Amino acid sequence: KWDGKWRMVLFDIEESKKKARDALRRKLKEIGFLEFQKSVFVYPHPCRDEINFIINFFNISKCVYYLETPISPDDFLRRHFRIK
């Protein structure tokens, strides 16, 4: 059951780490995140451990932020993730 919080991953990864940035984007999409903006991804379920693993693996922890927050309006997100 959804807890009403959205998980957001935001990042600003420099060009010198382009491969890590691209890999992070791919992994977020594989998990099921929705690309909200170019460097902002949203997901409805807890995933902090998975995100920590990814950012530590690519050594980009200083460039990536993980938030749990309500979003308003969120109708389009609820539709996308099929949440009532």
Do residues 39 and 63 lie in contact, with contact meaning Cβ atoms separated by under 8 Å?
Answer: no
Q: What percent of the chain has pLDDT over 90?
A: 98
DSSP β-ladder status, 64-69 and 6-11: antiparallel
- In this predicted structure, what is the pLDDT of residue 84? 85
Tell me: the pLDDT tens digits for 27-61? 999 999 999 999 999 999 999 999 999 999 999 99
How far is residue 36's CA from residue 32's CA, in Å, rounded to a whole number?
Answer: 12
